[in-house]
Every structure is written in C-alpha cells, then in structure tokens.
Amino acid sequence: MRKYQGEVIHQSHDQLGVIEVVEDNLSRSLHFGTDARQSSMLLRDPCQLSLSYTRAMCAALLFCEAPRRVLLLGLGGGSLAKFLLHYYPQCHIDAVEFRPEVHQIAHRYFELPEEPRLHVIYDDAGHFVRQHPIDQAGYDVMLIDAFLDRGVAYSVCGSSFFAACRDLLATEGVLSMNLWSDDRVHANDFIEDMSLSFDKQALRLPVEGKANVIGIATRQATARKQLRGLDDRARRLELHTAIEFTALLHSLRKFNKQFFSGFLSVPPGGAVS
C-alpha cells in the first residue's frame, strides 16, 4: 500500500491512534496518521539527522558543546537518540516515551540500538518532569519533541512545566523544544512561558521553509557574554557532526537581535547581519 508518497511497510494502532512506517528510495519515516513526519531516517546514513527541525533542535549544543547527561521528552523513531549516541560516546540519555509501541518500532524499523547509555522510560512527558526528583547534577541538555497527531501534547504546556524543566537542568543546562507555528497554542506563547521560567534567557529559531519553530532556553546566567565565542564553537560542531551550525547561529542572531545586542562577534572587514 502506498501512502505519504511512499510504501507503507508497517501499520499498527495503540491507545492514541494509528502508527505508520513509510519508506521511499531514500528514507524511512514515522507517521501518526497524518502527512507530518514524526521521525525520518536516511537509509544510507541512519545516524544522521535528515529532518531540518531535528538539526535545528541541536542548536542547543551551541550552549553545551559536550553533553554528558541528556533528557529526551519524546523518543519517536529515535533520530535524536541515535545521533547523540553516535557523536557523543560519553553521553548518557534518559528518553521518556508515552507509547511503548513507538519505542519498539524505533528498534525494529529505525535502527535504534540496544545501548546501556540509553534508558527509555514509559511515561507522559509532562508527568515525568513534574514528578521527577531534582538531581543535584541535573541534565546538561533537554530536548523536547512531544507531539501527538495534531500538535504539541497538552502535558508539556504552561509555565509550571517549564519551571519544572528548569529545576531538572544542570546549572549550565539548556533546553530545546520543537514547536509548530500554527499549533492550537501558538509557538510564541510557549516561548513566552519559557522566557518567564528561564530569567528571559529564551530564544526563538524558526526552521527555514517549515512551520516548525524551535524554542531554546538556558540556565546560563552569563549566556550573553558567552555568545562572543559561539562562532568558533559553531565551526567545531559543524566539522564534528556535519550539521549546519554556522547557519543555525546566523538564524539565532537574525531572529533574536535584542538577546544578542552588543555581544555579536564581528568578522574582519564586515558587520554581522
């Protein structure tokens, strides 16, 4: 059966609805009953991030170049987990996934490895964050991609959720969340709630050519001062991962000029746009 411009190689249902895996000549994608790809894997390079919004979520690494503890809220096909396990061998990941069937599909169809550095917890993301004991060490990076078929899960909405996220992050920790610009709760409302919970250390990163918007918030009290060194860090990360970190940094500056004001590094002979 053909669907979403590919061949359906798996279809099942759980308590939340349909789960489909669709393959074409280049990639394999996860769908929850709509055209939107919840996850996608390049068949020739399973550990690379094929979807632009997942690469944009990794802009959080500009603020934490070598994460050791990561919390994923929403496992999906496991793209972000595979990427981190592959490029950061020192990284340990807790992944919260509400749908056990999705976890099994990630193993079966998307090459998510059985790996002791990856601990998968079956729970609602909002419940996990609000109820999880605060660890003194905290998470270095928190990546939130908690979508249902029609948009962001309700449990990861509101200032109380982001305040709980902040409590689970390390002192220098950073959060990155995938949002949808025309979602039932507008992306700007999410980012405003982030900003209130993170001492106004929140950034907006629209994904070029897509409806996705990434919200990034950091606990780093000196984040503005540290921005002077992000050009070198972006180049290092780009060489290490083949993700377009230089372009992501440029977009962060373009869409958050007030946050970056006064701290932009200026290349020789020219001004930063």
Can you say whether the dihedral through the CA atoms of 250, 80, 211, 7 is positive or negative? positive
Higher pLDDT, 112 or 133: 112
Is the pLDDT score of 187 beyond 90?
no
Cα→Cα distances 37→4, 5, 34, 64, 183, Å: 9, 12, 8, 27, 16
Is the pLDDT score of 35 beyond 80?
yes
Instruction: Tokens for 58, please give them.
Output: 């990794």
Residues 6+ apart with CB under 8 A from 61: 67, 141, 237, 245
Query: 0.85 cut: is pTM over it?
Result: yes
Confidence of residue 168 (pLDDT cuts 50, 70, 90): very high
pLDDT for residue 265? 44
C-beta of residue 113 within 8 angstroms of C-beta of residue 88: no
Structural domains in the chain, CATH included, are 52-260 (3.40.50.150)
Catalytic residue list: 145
Confidence of residue 222 (pLDDT cuts 50, 70, 90): low
Please give the torsion angle defined by the CA atoms of residues 13, 18, 24 and 27, in that order, rounded to the nearest 10 degrees: -90
- Beta strand 139-144 with 69-73 is parallel
